[in-house]
Amino acid sequence: FFFFFFVLASHVMCVCVFLMAAFACLACCLDVLNTEATSITDCVRFLICCLRIRILLTLLLHVSVATQAYELFLCRISQFGDVMKPFVHIRRTPCEGTNKTHKPSPKTSAAEGPNVTFVVSVRHADNFAYLIIDDKSHTAAVVDPADADAVKTALIAHKAKLTAILTTHRHADHSGGNHALLKAFPSTPVYGGLGVPGLTEAVGQGDVITVGRLQFQVMSCPGHTVESVVFVLSAPSRVPSVFCGDVLFVGGSGKFFEGAPAVMFDSLAKLAVLNPATLVWPGHEYALGNLRFAATIEPQNERVHAQLRRAYDAAKHNTAFVPSTVAEELVSNLFLKASAEPSSDAAIAELGRLRKLKDAF
C-alpha cells in the first residue's frame, strides 16, 4: 500500500511541475507577443522575456528527462525483491562430499564438527564467487569476486578474515571486485594469470598457494582465455575441490574465446583425470541450459536426464546447482566426456563440433 501511494504521489508531483513550467512558458510567449519595442526599456524587457522562455524550455526538457529517469528508477524499485533474491545467495557447504546446505552462520554447527573447512558460494545473478573458509584460523580465500559488496557481506556473516584473492581469468564478471576488495583489504595478495586486475602474484601450472591450512594447486587451463587457470583445493581430511571459472560448468564448458578446440581439449583433459570424488565449483549457474542441450545430443543418456531433473528442481526453488563432482561430469557433461578420450584429431574435432552446436542452441 505504501509503495503504491509513493508511486502515485511521485507521478502527481512530476506532472504538476511539468504543467507549472508549461504554463509559465506560455505566459512568457504571450508576454513577448504583446510587447512593442518602442524604447530601450522595452527592448531590454523583450530580451528578458526571450531569456525567460529559453530558461523555461530548458527546464521543461530537464523535467521530461528527469521524469523518464524517475519512472525507470521506480520500475527498478518495484523489481527490488526479485533482484535482491539472487544478488547475495549464500550457500555453506562442508568440503567433504556432502550435499548439506546451511544457512549463513558465523558458528560451526554440531553436524559439521570442529575445524571444518567449508565453501560459501556467493551468487550474483548467474555468477558464482566462492569463499573458502578455515574454521580453525577464521581465514578465508575468495575465488572470482565479481561483486565485492556481496563478498564483504559473506565475510561479515562468517566472521572470517580475507587473506587471499584467487582469480581464474581477467573477465570482469570474475575479477570485477578485485580493486574494491584491495581497497578494503589493502595487504591482500591477488593470484591469477597475467592480465588479471589488481594482480600481485602471477601463477601458472604447478604453483601452490597456501592460505592457513588450505593449499590450492594451480592448473593452467587456457582456451576460454589465454591466462585461464583453475584452483584445486586440498584441505586436511577433506575431499578435494576444483574451482573452474569458465573452463568447466555443470553439464558444459566455457566458450573457446582465445583458443582452438585442441587447446580447450588439453585443458579439459587435465580436469578429467582429477580424483572422481573432487567437488566441481563452476563460475556460472548454467546447468539447466547445458543439460537441456546435452539431452538433445544424447537423448538416451539417463544420467543426463537425471541431472536435468535436478537442475529443473533447483531452478524452481531458486537454489544453486553446485557443487557437482568430476565423476558426475564425466557421464553427464558432453564436453568433459569428449576430452576424457585419448587425444586424437577425431576427439578434438568432436569437441569443436559440440561447441558449435551449443553456441547455436
Q: CA 177, CA 180: separation in Å to the nearest integer? A: 5
pLDDT tens, residue by residue, 153-175: 999 999 999 999 999 999 999 99
**In this structure, what C-alpha cell is assigned to residue 351?**
569437441
Report pLDDT for 107. Answer: 29
pLDDT tens, residue by residue, 8-36: 565 566 666 667 766 666 666 666 556 55
**In this structure, what C-alpha cell is assigned to residue 170?**
581477467
Looking at the chain, which runs of residues are DSSP E strands? 89-94, 117-124, 127-134, 139-143, 161-166, 190-192, 201-202, 208-211, 214-220, 229-234, 241-245, 248-249, 252-253, 279-282, 324-325
Report pLDDT for 70. Answer: 47
**In this structure, what C-alpha cell is assigned to residue 197?**
586486475
Contact present, 243 and 221 (Cβ < 8 Å):
no
Contact present, 303 and 295 (Cβ < 8 Å):
no
Q: Which residue has the higher pLDDT, 252 or 80?
A: 252
The radius of gyration computed from the CA coordinates of the chain, to the nearest angstrom, equals 28
0.75 surpassed by pTM: no
Report pLDDT for 295. Answer: 96
Residue that has been written with the C-alpha cell 521524469 in this structure: 67
Q: Which residue has the higher pLDDT, 95 or 56?
A: 56
Q: CA 236, CA 115: separation in Å to the nearest integer? A: 10
Report pLDDT for 239. Answer: 87
What are the helix (H) ranges across 171-321? 172-175, 178-184, 261-272, 287-297, 302-316
Report pLDDT for 112. Answer: 34
What are the helix (H) ranges across 158-260? 172-175, 178-184
pLDDT tens, residue by residue, 109-154: 222 333 445 677 777 678 899 999 888 888 999 999 999 999 999 9
**In this structure, what C-alpha cell is assigned to residue 123?**
551468487
Report pLDDT for 211. Answer: 87
Contact present, 190 and 216 (Cβ < 8 Å):
no
Residues with a known catalytic role:
169, 171, 173-174, 224, 246, 284
Contact present, 192 and 166 (Cβ < 8 Å):
yes
Contact present, 205 and 193 (Cβ < 8 Å):
no
